[in-house]
Amino acid sequence: MSKTKRVFTNFLRFLAFGATIAAVVVMVTSHESTMVLNLTFTAKYSNDPVFKYFVIAEAIASGYSLIVLLFSRFQNSLWRLVLILDFVVAMLLSSSVSAAVAIAHVGKKGNDHAGWLPICGQVPKFCDHVTGALVAAFAAAIIYLVLISSSLYSVLNLLP
């Protein structure tokens, strides 16, 4: 792998690390309380298993990105494993973002058929935090897709 390619790959991994860490921090710090009919209603990420999955998946992706960044000098000997793990992490990120977007949509719009009311009118700060975390996670998923495309391009150019 050329030096330019390695710098580009490490830059993409650093961006992905930053985006996943940002998504985790924003989601974990998202909480808001409101009064509805003299009852206190608290919205936080840990109330929903999908948001817990989202945080865990993003944390796994950020940990993986950090490990690969720290051991990038050994990437030449383990490039096939790193490429496979990049695919796994990209799919993990896309599944967690997709699930969290579905729940966020229900929180924003509700569901008339199921009788679920939207909650973003009562807890707008919570919904803004969730939206920010989803944007950061979506950026990380796109960065991983670019990283995979770049790696595949390099592999295909090495083949005779």
| pLDDT single digits (tens) 140-154 | 999 999 999 888 887
Cβ neighbours of 107 (radius 10 Å): 20
Q: Determine what percent of the chain is predicted with pLDDT higher than 70.
A: 94
Nearest Cα to 68, choosing from 32, 14, 121, 111? 14
Checking if the pLDDT of 116 tops 90, the result is no
Residue 51 and residue 47: Cα distance in Å, rounded?
8
Nearby residues of 20 by Cβ (< 8 Å), 6 or more positions away:
58, 59, 61, 62, 65, 93, 136, 137, 140
Q: Is 122 buried (19+), middle (13-18) or exposed (0-12) by CB count in 10 A?
A: middle
| pLDDT tens digits for range 26-83 | 999 987 777 777 877 777 887 888 999 999 999 999 999 999 888 877 656 677 788 8
Rounded Cα gap, residues 156 and 134, in angstroms? 33
126-155 mean pLDDT: 89
